[in-house]
Amino acid sequence: MLGSMTQPTPRPQVAALPAYVPGARGGAGAPPIKLSSNESPLGPLPSVAAALERAAAAANRYPDMTAVAAHERVADALGVSPDRVALGAGSVGVLSHILQAFCRPGDEVVYAWRSFEAYPILTALAGGVAVPVPLTADARHDLPAMARAITERTRVVLVCSPNNPTGPAVRADEFAEFLDAVPPHVLVVLDEAYTEYVRDAAAVQGLDVVGPPNLLILRTFSKAYGLAGLRVGYAVGPADAIAAVRSCVTPFSVTEAAQVAVMASLDAREELLERVAATVAERERVVPAVRALGWGVPSAEGNFVWLPHADAQGLAAALAALPTPILVRPFAGEGVRITIGAPDENDALLAALTDLHL
Ligand SMILES: *Cc1c(COP(=O)(O)O)cnc(C)c1O
C-alpha cells in the first residue's frame, strides 16, 4: 500500500488546510494606507531602534536559547515569577505550542466564530477537531454556548478578548461564570492581543484572573508595543502549564533582536502606552463617525473597527481602487475589519466611506 505512493504525502490535516494567501499589497500607484493587519501606525521608538542596531551587529551569534533576561524582564513587568511566563515567536507561535502541549490527536478545541483566523489553522495542525461556536447577534462571545459545547473530548477552549475581527471585549462577570462552568481538565486560553487598547471598565483583565491551574493568558508585543515584525508574544499562567508550553518552544525561536526590543520597549512602556492612548482617542473619533454613516459597528475595544457587510470583498476592492489605496481586511459575506491608523489615515478612510455611499 505505502509502496504505491508516488511522492511524499502530507498528513490529511495539513492537506486540508487552505492554501496560503499573501497579505494585501498596494499596486504601482500611490503608496497605500495599510489598515489591514492591526499594526501600530508608528515605527519603533529611537531607544528601541538603537537596541535593534546593536543586535544587528551581533547577528552572527545565536541568541540566548531560553531568553532568560527577556523572561525575567517580562515577568517583572507583570508582577509574576519568571516560571509563569513563556515567550515565543509571536503569540501565534506560543498558541501553537500550547496546542502541541495539551491537545492530543482528535481532541476538541472550542472557540468562538468568527474570531482570529489562526485558531482553525493551529487546531488542525495540532491534529485537533475544531468546535466553532457562533458569536451573538452583537458580535460578542456566547460564553454560555461555549461552555455547553464542551464534551469529554474537549481539551482546550480559546477565548479572544477583545475579539478579532469584531471588537467587543468579554466582561469580567461573564468570564468568571464561564470559568466556573469549565471542567478542571479543560485548558482555557484567554487571548488578550489587544488588551492595552481596552477601555470598557467591565472587561475581563487577564492579570486579575490568572491563577487557576487551567487558565493561560496570551499576550503579544505585536500590537500596542509596535513590534509585529519581530515576532514575540508570551503566555502567562500557572508554572506547571507554562513548563509544558516551554518544552514545546522551538529552540532559538525568540531572536536576539526580539529579546532586546522587548526589554527596550518595557523600559519605554509609558511612552508606548501614550501611543496606545492616541490610537484609542482616534478609535473614539472614528467609531461614532462610521456609525453616523449608517454602519452597524459593534463595540470596538481593540485598535480596529468592524463593518458588518455582505459584500465585504466589494467594499475592500472599492477602497483599494482609490487614488491613494486604502487596504482593509475583508471577510467574505460577513464584514470588513479596518485598523485604526494615524489621524490623517483615518481622515482618508472616513472621507472614502462618506463618498462611497454604501
Ligand atoms: C494579532 C493577534 C495576535 C498576535 O499575533 P502575534 O503572533 O503575536 O503577532 C494574537 N491573537 C489575536 C487575536 C490577534 O489579533
Residue 264 pLDDT > 60: yes
Kindly report, residue by residue over 104-136, the tens digit of the pLDDT: 999 999 999 999 999 999 999 999 999 999 999
R_g (Cα) of the chain, nearest Å: 21
Cis peptide, bond prior to residue 134, ω within 30 of zero: no
**Sign for the pseudo-dihedral over CA of 19, 22, 27, 33:** positive
Our answer on whether the CB atom of 90 is closer than 6 Å to any ligand 1 atom is: yes
User: HSE of 74 in the Cβ direction (CA atoms, 13 Å)?
Assistant: 29
Return the best residue to mutate from 219, 222, 331 for the ligand 1 pocket (most ligand atoms within 8 A of CB). 222
Kindly report, residue by residue over 10-39, the tens digit of the pLDDT: 888 888 887 766 655 655 678 999 999 999
Distance in angstroms (rounded) separating the CA atoms of residues 9 and 228:
33
3-class DSSP string for 192-246: CCCHHHCCCCCECCHHHHCCCCCEEEEEECCCCCCCHHHCCEEEECCHHHHHHHH
Quickly state the pLDDT bin for 218 (edges 50, 70, 90).
very high
Protein residue with its CA nearest to atom 3 in ligand 1: 193
Q: What is the pLDDT of residue 258?
A: 97
Q: What is the pLDDT of residue 23?
A: 58
Residue 1 pLDDT > 60: no
The percent of residues above 70 in pLDDT, for the chain, comes to 96
Helix, coil or strand: residue 103: coil
* Ligand 1: centre distance to CA 23 (Å): 15
Angle between helices 343-356 and 312-320 (to 10 degrees): 120
Kindly report, residue by residue over 68-100, the tens digit of the pLDDT: 999 999 999 999 999 999 999 999 999 999 999
Q: What is the pTM of this model?
A: 0.95
| Mean pLDDT computed over 217-223 | 98
Q: What is the pLDDT of residue 20?
A: 65
Please state, as a whole number, how many other Cβ atoms lie within 10 Å of the Cβ of residue 199: 12
Whole-number mean pLDDT of the chain? Answer: 95
Number of the ligand 1 atom closest to the C-alpha atom of 165? 15
Q: What is the pLDDT of residue 10?
A: 87
Q: What is the pLDDT of residue 22?
A: 62
Helix, coil or strand: residue 271: helix
**Sign for the pseudo-dihedral over CA of 43, 118, 92, 58:** negative
Number of the ligand 1 atom closest to the C-alpha atom of 222? 9
Q: What is the pLDDT of residue 16?
A: 85
The percent of residues above 90 in pLDDT, for the chain, comes to 90
| Mean pLDDT computed over 330-345 | 98
Q: Kindly state the cell numbers that stand for 186.
A: 479543560
Kindly report, residue by residue over 178-199, the tens digit of the pLDDT: 999 999 999 999 999 999 999 9
| Mean pLDDT computed over 311-326 | 97
Q: What is the pLDDT of residue 11?
A: 87
Our answer on whether the CB atom of 91 is closer than 6 Å to any ligand 1 atom is: yes
Angle between helices 269-292 and 343-356 (to 10 degrees): 10
Protein residue with its CA nearest to atom 15 in ligand 1: 164
Residue 300 pLDDT > 70: yes
Protein residue with its CA nearest to atom 2 in ligand 1: 193
Helix, coil or strand: residue 85: strand
Q: What does each C-alpha distance from 316 to 73, 127, 303, 320, 338 come to in angstroms?
A: 41, 33, 18, 6, 10
